[in-house]
C-alpha cells in the first residue's frame, strides 16, 4: 500500500487527514456547489446582490418548475434519450461482433483493421465535420435525432471495438477451440459461448457510451438546428442565451442536464470505472 496507511501514522496525522478530506472535497467541488446553491436561490436574491450568502428562502421548486415551464428542456432531454439509448445498443452490439472477429480469428488484415478502428477513434471531430454534415443533408438525416444517432453509433464503434477485442482476448481460448473441434458453428460459438461471458464488458461499455454520447455537444450543434431534435447539451446553451441574467434558471437547467449521466455513474459505478480504466493496470 502506498502511501503508508494513515492508520499506521501518528495520531495527529490521522486526525489531520480526517479533517483535510472533507475540506479538500468542498474546495474541489466549490464551483459545482456554487451552482447548486444558485439554482435554489430566488431571483430577488440575485437582484439584491445576495450572491454568496444564505438564500432568503428555498426557491428550488419555483426555479426548477420555471425551467421546465418556460423552456423546451423536457423536449431536449427526451431528444437526448432518443439519441443516446439507440446509440448505446447499436455501438455495443456492433462491437460485440467486431471485437469477437478481431480477437478469435487469425487472418492477415486482422491487426490492420484493429488499428484502423483505434486510430479512427482518436481523430479530431473537425476532420469529419464537413463530409458528415454533407452526407446527413443529402440523405435527409440532417436536423433529426436519427442523423446524430447513426453518426454516434459509427464513431463509438471504434472505441467499443478496442475495448471488446481486448476483453475477449482475456477469455480462455481453449473454450472456443474445443467447441470448434466438436463442430459447433462459428455463430453458435459467438452466441452461446462468448457472448454470455462478455456481460461485464457490455455493462461497462454501456454506461461509458451513455455518458459520452449524452455529453456530446459538438455534433449536436453540427447536425441539429431545431428544438425538435436538439439534445440537452446544445439546448442548454440556447437557454443561456435567452436567460442572460437569470442565473438561477441557467443553474437549475445545468443541474437537470447533468443528472442522467450522474445517476448512471452512481448506479453503475463499478462498471463505469472498470470501463474507463481498462488498460491502466496492464499492457
Using CB under 8 A as the binding rule, the residues of this chain from 229 to 258 that contact another protein are 233-234, 236-237, 240, 247, 250-251, 254, 257-258
DSSP code of 229? T
Helix axes 247-267, 73-104, angle to 10 degrees: 30
- Residues within window 123-162 making contact with another protein, judged by CB under 8 A: 123-135, 150-151, 153-155, 157-158, 161
107 binds another protein, rule: CB under 8 A: yes
Q: Which listed range, 66-74, 81-89, 122-130, 198-206, lies at the site for another protein (CB under 8 A)?
A: 122-130
Q: Whose CA is closest to 100, among 12, 192, 15?
A: 192
**Burial level of 231, CB count in 10 A (0-12/13-18/19+)?**
buried
For another protein, how many residues bind (rule: CB under 8 A)?
100
113 binds another protein, rule: CB under 8 A: yes
Q: Are 215 and 209 in contact (CB under 8 A)?
A: no
Q: Which listed range, 1-9, 56-64, 69-77, 196-204, lies at the site for another protein (CB under 8 A)?
A: 1-9
- Residues within window 12-41 making contact with another protein, judged by CB under 8 A: 17-18, 21, 24-25, 28-32, 34-35, 38
Handedness of CA 126, 128, 134, 136 (dihedral sign): negative
Minimum Å gap between C-beta 163 and another protein is: 13
225 binds another protein, rule: CB under 8 A: no
- Cα–Cα distances (Å) from 119 to 30, 52, 204, 210, 213, in that order, read 37, 47, 21, 21, 19
- Residues within window 49-68 making contact with another protein, judged by CB under 8 A: 49, 51-52
- Residues within window 164-193 making contact with another protein, judged by CB under 8 A: 180, 185-187, 190
Q: Are 147 and 141 in contact (CB under 8 A)?
A: yes
H-helix or E-strand spanning residue 202: helix 199-214
- Residues within window 66-95 making contact with another protein, judged by CB under 8 A: 94-95
Amino acid at each position: 500500500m502506498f502511501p503508508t496507511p494513515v492508520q499506521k501514522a501518528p495520531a495527529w496525522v490521522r486526525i489531520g487527514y480526517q479533517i483535510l478530506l472533507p475540506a479538500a472535497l468542498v474546495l474541489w467541488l466549490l464551483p459545482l456547489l456554487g451552482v447548486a446553491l444558485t439554482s435554489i436561490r430566488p431571483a430577488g436574491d440575485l437582484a439584491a446582490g445576495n450572491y454568496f450568502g444564505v438564500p432568503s428562502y428555498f426557491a428550488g421548486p419555483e426555479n426548477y418548475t420555471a425551467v421546465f415551464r418556460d423552456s423546451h428542456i423536457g423536449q431536449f432531454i427526451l431528444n437526448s434519450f432518443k439519441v443516446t439509448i439507440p446509440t448505446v445498443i447499436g455501438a455495443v452490439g456492433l462491437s460485440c461482433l467486431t471485437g469477437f472477429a478481431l480477437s478469435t480469428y487469425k487472418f492477415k488484415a486482422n491487426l490492420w483493421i484493429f488499428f484502423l478502428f483505434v486510430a479512427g477513434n482518436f481523430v479530431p471531430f473537425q476532420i469529419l465535420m464537413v463530409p458528415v454534415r454533407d452526407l446527413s443533408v443529402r440523405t435527409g438525416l440532417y436536423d433529426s435525432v436519427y442523423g446524430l444517432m447513426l453518426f454516434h453509433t459509427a464513431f463509438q464503434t471504434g472505441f467499443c471495438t478496442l475495448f471488446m477485442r481486448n476483453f475477449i482476448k482475456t477469455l480462455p481460448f481453449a473454450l472456443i477451440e474445443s467447441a470448434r473441434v466438436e463442430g459447433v458453428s462459428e455463430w453458435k460459438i459467438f452466441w452461446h459461448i462468448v457472448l454470455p461471458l462478455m456481460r461485464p464488458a457490455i455493462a461497462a461499455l454501456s454506461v461509458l457510451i451513455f455518458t459520452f454520447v449524452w455529453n456530446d455537444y459538438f455534433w449536436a450543434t453540427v447536425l441539429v438546428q431545431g428544438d425538435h431534435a436538439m439534445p440537452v447539451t446544445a439546448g442548454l446553451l440556447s437557454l443561456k442565451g435567452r436567460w442572460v441574467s437569470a442565473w438561477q434558471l441557467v443553474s437549475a437547467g445545468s443541474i437537470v442536464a447533468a443528472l442522467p449521466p450522474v445517476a448512471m455513474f452512481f448506479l453503475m459505478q463499478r462498471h463505469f470505472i472498470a470501463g474507463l480504466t481498462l488498460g491502466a493496470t496492464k499492457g
